[in-house]
Amino acid sequence: MRKLFGATQLNVERELEDLYSTFLAQLPIKMTAEEARKDVKDAIEACKEQAKREGTAIWPDNVGDLMLEADKAGHQKYRKIVEKARKEGATDEDIREFWNLNDLQRRMVLWSENVFRYSNFLSLKEDGLSADDAMVLVRKMFPMYGDSEDTTHTSGDDRPLPHELRGRVDDYRQKLGAVFVKRQAEEFTTYNAFVRHEIRAGNL
């Protein structure tokens, strides 16, 4: 989850377009480079429109710092966000790293993850798994992020991880190796349960 340091918003968009076009073309969904670039451009425009609707398009790139300062000052809106992440093991550095991303970059991280998970889900179904079995396997293979209080599809340690943990979870996988971490996670009901276990054990 690398922060982009483009001098202008246009530079950020171009870098995101290049980054995710390459990413999309390598997925199991079999896209041409042209199709991938078009989908990424469409996703960027959709994210920009969503940001305008939600009022985050004008947010500065140091929202994480401001959010932590607002929490210390007692602003309840931001304290709720910060405390919710901390409750799940996120540190102030985790919170700062995620929220200090450019707003468009942050939205594209979420978009790319959804595309990646769904492409693997479809690939597993094409291999003959039922939709339920494919989703069980996807949840074992990859961390799933979202509202950590959402128990619509999962509960307990299988619940979504807070977005703020993304960078730390990625670093942990890179440090120990994807194959090793995957084998460890297979011992748990989901990858999320594995992550929560490692946080409680002080390993992550």
One pLDDT digit (tens) per residue for the chain, 204 residues: 555 544 467 788 999 999 999 888 888 777 788 888 999 999 999 999 999 999 998 898 899 999 999 999 999 999 999 999 999 999 999 999 999 999 999 999 999 999 989 999 999 999 999 999 999 999 999 999 999 999 999 999 999 999 999 999 999 999 999 999 999 999 999 999 999 999 999 999
Count CB neighbours of 98 within 10 A.
23
The DSSP annotation for 17-73 comes to HHHHHHHHHTSTT---HHHHHHHHHHHHHHHHHHHHHHT-TT--TTHHHHHHHHHHT
CA 170/CA 74 separation, integer angstroms: 31
Q: Which residues contact 98 (CB under 8 A, 6 or more apart)?
A: 1, 64, 106, 163, 164, 166, 167
Q: Which residues contact 184 (CB under 8 A, 6 or more apart)?
A: 194
Residue in 6, 202, 171 with CA at minimum distance from that of residue 94: 171
pTM over 0.95: no
CA 122/CA 30 separation, integer angstroms: 12
Residue in 6, 9, 13 with CA at minimum distance from that of residue 37: 13
Q: Check if the beta carbon of residue 164 is closer than 8 Å to that of residue 85.
A: yes
CA 118/CA 121 separation, integer angstroms: 5
Tell me the per-residue pLDDT of 2-58, one tens digit each, with 9 for 90 and over. 555 444 677 889 999 999 998 888 887 777 888 889 999 999 999 999 999 999 988
CA 39/CA 30 separation, integer angstroms: 13
Q: Which residues contact 59 (CB under 8 A, 6 or more apart)?
A: 103
